[in-house]
A = this chain, B = another copy of it.
Amino acid sequence: MDWETLARELAVPSDAKIVLLVLDGLGGLPVDGRTELETARKPNLDALAARGACGLTTPVLPGITPGSGPAHLALFGYDPLRTQFGRGILEALGSGVEVGPEDLVARGNFATLKAGLVSDRRAGRLATEKNARLCQKINAAIPSQRDIETRLYPGKEHRFVARFRGEGLSDRLSDADPQKEGKPRVPASPLAPGADRAAAIVNGYMDAVTDLLKDEPVANTILVRGFSKFPSIPSMAEIYRIRPAAIANYPMYKGLARLLGMTVIDVGAETSALFDALDKRYKDFDFFYIHYKKTDAAGEDGNFAAKVAAIEEIDALLPRLTALGPDVLVVTADHSTPAVLKGHSWHPNPFLLVSRFALPDEVTRFSERDCGRGSLGRFPALQVMPLMLAAGLKLKKFGA
Q: Which residues of A contact B (CB under 8 A)?
A: 1, 3, 6, 10, 29-30, 35, 56, 60-70, 80-82, 84, 86-87, 90, 225-226, 338, 340-341, 343-347, 356-357, 359-362, 368-369, 372, 375-379, 383, 385-390, 395-400
- The A contact surface, by secondary structure, is loop
Complex alpha-carbon distance, A372 and B396, angstroms = 25
Q: Which residue of B lies closest to A373 (CB)?
A: B373
Complex alpha-carbon distance, A343 and B1, angstroms = 24
Complex alpha-carbon distance, A35 and B359, angstroms = 9
Complex alpha-carbon distance, A369 and B358, angstroms = 12
For the complex of A and B, the 7 pairs showing the least CB-CB separation, nearest first, are: A63-B386, A87-B400, A67-B399, A70-B399, A63-B390, A377-B378, A67-B400
Q: What's the minimum C-beta distance from A369 to chain B, rounded to whole angstroms? A: 6
Complex alpha-carbon distance, A343 and B397, angstroms = 10
Q: Do A6 and B61 have beta carbons less than 8 Å apart?
A: yes
Can you list 6 contacts pairing A with B, beta carbon distance less than 8 Å? A1-B81, A6-B61, A62-B379, A64-B390, A86-B400, A344-B397
Q: Do A372 and B377 have beta carbons less than 8 Å apart?
A: yes
* Known interface pairs A61-B6, A64-B390, A395-B65; A369-B377 also in contact (CB < 8 Å): no
Q: Which of B80, B341, B397 is in CB contact (< 8 Å) with A399?
A: B80
* Known interface pairs A359-B35, A378-B377; A398-B66 also in contact (CB < 8 Å): yes
B residues less than 8 Å from A379 (CB atoms): 62, 378
Q: Which of B341, B343, B360 is in CB contact (< 8 Å) with A30?
A: B360
* Known interface pairs A341-B357, A375-B369; A65-B397 also in contact (CB < 8 Å): yes
Q: Which of B67, B343, B362 is in CB contact (< 8 Å) with A369?
A: B362
Q: What's the minimum C-beta distance from A161 to chain B, rounded to whole angstroms? A: 13
Q: Do B368 and A61 have beta carbons less than 8 Å apart?
A: no
Q: Do B30 and A389 have beta carbons less than 8 Å apart?
A: no
Complex alpha-carbon distance, A346 and B357, angstroms = 10
Q: Which residue of B lies closest to A73 (CB)?
A: B399
Complex alpha-carbon distance, A62 and B57, angstroms = 12
